Structure 1
Amino acid sequence: MLIKSLLTTENKFNSTAELIEWIKRRNREVQVSVETIPFAEMEYWHQDKDGSLHHKSGRFFSIQGIKVQTDYGKINEWMQPIINQPEVGYLGILTKEFDGVLYFLMQAKIEPGNVNCVQISPTLQATKSNYRQVHQGKKPNYLDYFVNAKPEEILLDQLQSEQGARFLRKRNRNIIIKVSGEVEVKEDFRWMTLGQIKELACRNNMVNMDTRTVLSGLKLSDYQNPLDDNSQMTEFGRGMMLSSSTNHSLFDMRHHLSWLSGLKAKYDLLVFPTPIYNMPDWKVTDYEIIREDKKYFKVIGVRVTIANREVASWCQPLVAPMQQGLCAYIIKKINGVYHFLVQAKLECGNYDVMELAPTVQCLTGDYSKAIIKPPFCDYVLNARPEQIIFDTLQSEEGGRFYKEQNRNMLIEADDYFPIELPEHYTWMTLNQIYSFLCFNNFLNIQARSLLSAIQYR
């Protein structure tokens, strides 16, 4: 059922071409206005005397200052603004079987920070403040399906982290349910197969971050039947299935758990609240919270008007990047099995010091101009065309980030790429990565987003 969905790219509801045209049409039709405004003009928000930004309800999220101290890496102390959103939101996808194929009910959703306004989003994408209607708007569509889901309907249910460099210990509930009754397909929703979603993910900024993180939790090899006809899969796709199911690996799970536990015990991460006005290297203007050197990111205020949202108009802060980022996995066949080069990465907003991250993750500095680049960055950037398996621009979450997009890549290493690695890196099969993904706060959102990009056909 799920494997058939993975291998089905045309269906009785919508062809892939029709889905692309639907997104383009919604971009043309839905009226969207995002206007940069002074912080003082953001309705229902206030700026404290320390420079932090809060919603007057006390809910949603806030922008606060933090001081970070760590003995990890070359920079051991810094201050920065961060998004504090202690609520656990819903990222949910509703599925239903039609003629032996599993379909996913996806939404054409507009977020104020989206690069291209409309992107393919989960069925339900809502903070706790949203679905409890703190904004006094309409209840999100399909919420009751997830709130009232029976255990036998749940295909996936995990608490997963958000961006650790921008959010302070933020998590969302990633959930996929399968229903059997009639489902009303509301405006701005369409049924899609998993194959179609993966096909659309090969296009720049088409499938949003929340969809990618939810789908990353599906371990497809668990749904593979020995009798399934996998002739539609590419050789690479079959290699990914093998990596996802085999117990043959360079290192066993006991080794990986000891490696990660040792690093978490070795390094300290201390985070303290601090006034934004007192942060060296940062300045607060009427319109921005920005570094003096204009590096990394800034915080802006916006007034948003979107025709088809639960609330048509509102104000809020957004985090705007100062450059495009890079997220990439290097993969290599070791003893006939694909292994992923994974790093343990410390970020200031992490729950538990370190999370597993892609081989290369450059989000907070201009990696293209850096004199000393992160390990393996040059290898990724200089990869030959035949080594590049996946290469697209993917958006970060447009509800909090303003037009942030990162280059997402999968690179296959050549025969000369070394097996030996620095302390913070290791080789894992896809099966081992999914073992960590079953639990909270092990795999960061950049790592999960790239997993959803793996193509099988």
Structure 2
Amino acid sequence: MPSPDTAIADWIAERRRQGTLEIQRIPFSACADWHFEGGRLRHRSGRFFTIVGCHCEVGPAHLAGLDLAMIDQPEVGILGFVVRRGPAGWEWLLQAKAEPGNVGGTQVGPSVQATRSNYMRVHGGSPTRMLELFTGSPAAWHVLTDVEQSEQGDRFCGKYNRNVVVEVDGAFPTPDGGLWRWFGHRELRAALHGDYVVNTDARSVICSADWGLLGAPEAGPPFARWRGRGGLGEQLLDSAAEPAAEAGYADACARLDAARRAQAVRLAPVALDALPGWRVDDWEIAPAGAAADQVVQAYAVHAEGREVEYWCQPLVASRAPGRIVLVCARHAGVLRFLLNVSFEFGLREGAQFAPSYVSGCGHANPDGLLAALAGAGAVVHASVMQSDEGGRFMASVARYEIVELPAETAAGFADAGVWASLAVLRRLSRRRGLLNNEMRSALSLLLAWV
């Protein structure tokens, strides 16, 4: 019998062995249905997404004057999990989702993970399974969560997805074909600490959902199983139960609003072939120097079990692995987390809360934080390798970490951002446009302790 701690990772490994995912880099001229037009790279249908050039006319110092090739995808997609009440508590219907840019090919995705163009069948392929749960009238199911959340603001222009969780009863049929399987809350929590197991879309929905869905009903509120056991688990419990959470939430929102009012971000479109510091040829759209991390390339894909099994498309590749760190420290006896007010190219609001440190072009981090992370007394509580959503990014990877700093070290960063308890983060995660994509992924690491 498989261990609950490895059950999901074992299933994904099995699906990788059994499935077919073949990827080949090709020139743009061989990428059927995609062409350059009007200084953009677009699909013949005008749907899916477009690669565009952007220049930052107005913004903070790390953005002003920056030129980037971005993904313009105004459609709002669906990221939806189906859950049910099982004998041992909540169960989640996971999808073994094969994407060309995923490390390992197949990773855990939401029960339904689809762009609007896909589920409207612009590609001419088969229907999206279980779509009616997320687009129809809830008659036999119960909507538990439905909130729009942003995609990566350093590569997407204002992209949002619905993050949805619906509850069904025990009679709900599991889709056939072996790509969907029910797992319990304990198994899902364990998978959150696996390298390249749970994709970024699934993490976003899990973070935005009721965290109680990751625990047994009789266990009480999130993290309650650690009561009286000490260590990080009990610190997380106390942080999630902070009495002043409403005031902390209001203060965090006020500070984010003030930052947005104080600093505008304004972009101007630029034709790709006229984008300063970039070159466009038949094989890639790339920065000529080290001005940006991303490179756009074309790929031909064969993925068994998808609505369309053969296609080609552009993908955004990264030049180097990233590092993303959520810092925590004890303040007045409560564990708090350092949120960075992050202005990014593609965020509609200009800024959202990001993890304490995010590497790469288009991100600004608190001065001295990297040195503090390498200093004495820093404790790494979690460290997980993750690849960004493989439907748009090719092997774009980063190490996500939860690092605790000694209180005296953290005091030097008292004004570097917003220090928020888990109770405040829980409220922020349920609202649109407050936590960025990287923040939701980082926060999901803590949910392994629920």
| TM-score normalised over the length of structure 1 | 0.89
1:194 partnered with 2:185: yes
The within-5 A match list for 1:358-373 is 358-364=355-361
Distance 1:172 1:211 in 2: 12
Task: State the secondary structure of the residue aligned to 1:417.
Answer: helix
- Pick the aligned partner of 2:194 from 192, 200, 203: 203
Larger mean CA deviation between 356-365 and 56-65 belongs to 356-365
Distance 2:179 2:261 in 1: 47
- Residues 427 and 231 of structure 1, relative CA distance in 2, 3 Å threshold: closer
Distance 2:329 2:210 in 1: 20
- Pick the aligned partner of 2:433 from 429, 432, 441: 441
1:112 partnered with 2:100: yes
Match of 2:136 in 1: 148
CA contact (8 A) 1:158 1:440 kept: yes
Match of 1:398 in 2: 390
Cα shift at 1:30: 1.3
Instruction: State the percentage of identical aligned residues.
Output: 27
- Pick the aligned partner of 1:301 from 295, 298, 302: 298
The within-5 A match list for 1:273-352 is 273-294=269-290, 295-352=292-349
Distance 2:100 2:128 in 1: 17
Cα shift at 1:382: 4.5
- Residues 90 and 347 of structure 1, relative CA distance in 2, 3 Å threshold: same
Match of 1:133 in 2: 121
The letter for the 2-side match of 1:263 is: A
CA contact (8 A) 1:325 1:366 kept: no
- Pick the aligned partner of 1:357 from 317, 337, 354: 354
Cα shift at 1:437: 2.3
- Pick the aligned partner of 2:109 from 121, 138, 142: 121
CA contact (8 A) 1:221 1:241 kept: no
Q: Which blocks of at least 5 consecutive residues in structure 1 are unaligned?
A: 1-9
Q: Which blocks of at least 5 consecutive residues in structure 2 are unaligned?
A: none
The C-alpha deviation readout for 1:352-385, integer Å capped at 9, x for no partner, is 1110000001133899xxxx9854122224465x
1:88 partnered with 2:79: no
Cα shift at 1:23: 1.5
CA contact (8 A) 1:238 1:456 kept: no
The C-alpha deviation readout for 1:310-332, integer Å capped at 9, x for no partner, is 10100100000001111111111
Cα shift at 1:286: 0.8
The letter for the 1-side match of 2:266 is: L
Cα shift at 1:193: 1.9
Match of 1:266 in 2: 262
CA contact (8 A) 1:250 1:428 kept: no
The letter for the 2-side match of 1:448 is: R
1:70 partnered with 2:58: yes
Cα shift at 1:207: 0.7
Distance 1:96 1:216 in 2: 18
Match of 1:452 in 2: 444
Larger mean CA deviation between 198-207 and 283-292 belongs to 198-207
Distance 1:17 1:221 in 2: 22
Alpha-carbon RMSD across the aligned residues, in angstroms, is 2.6
Cα shift at 1:235: 3.5
- Pick the aligned partner of 2:32 from 16, 32, 43: 43
CA contact (8 A) 1:103 1:194 kept: yes
Distance 1:227 1:440 in 2: 27
The letter for the 2-side match of 1:164 is: G
- Residues 184 and 374 of structure 1, relative CA distance in 2, 3 Å threshold: farther
- Pick the aligned partner of 2:205 from 214, 223, 229: 214
CA contact (8 A) 2:7 2:187 kept: no
- Residues 311 and 193 of structure 1, relative CA distance in 2, 3 Å threshold: same
The letter for the 2-side match of 1:96 is: R
CA contact (8 A) 1:330 1:412 kept: yes
Distance 2:319 2:87 in 1: 48
- Residues 35 and 119 of structure 1, relative CA distance in 2, 3 Å threshold: same
Cα shift at 1:16: 4.3
Task: State the secondary structure of the residue aligned to 1:407.
Answer: strand
The letter for the 1-side match of 2:346 is: G
Match of 1:5 in 2: none
Distance 1:339 1:375 in 2: 19
The within-5 A match list for 1:241-256 is 241-248=237-244, 252-256=248-252
Distance 1:363 1:15 in 2: 36
Equivalent pairs, count: 440
The C-alpha deviation readout for 1:120-175, integer Å capped at 9, x for no partner, is 11100000011111101111111122223528711111000000010000000000
The letter for the 1-side match of 2:99 is: E
| TM-score normalised over the length of structure 2 | 0.91
Distance 1:227 1:53 in 2: 51
CA contact (8 A) 1:249 1:337 kept: no
Cα shift at 1:208: 0.5
Distance 2:159 2:220 in 1: 42
- Residues 377 and 32 of structure 1, relative CA distance in 2, 3 Å threshold: same
The letter for the 2-side match of 1:388 is: V
Distance 2:22 2:219 in 1: 52
- Residues 236 and 422 of structure 1, relative CA distance in 2, 3 Å threshold: closer
The letter for the 2-side match of 1:57 is: S
Match of 1:3 in 2: none
Cα shift at 1:225: 6.5
Distance 1:21 1:448 in 2: 25
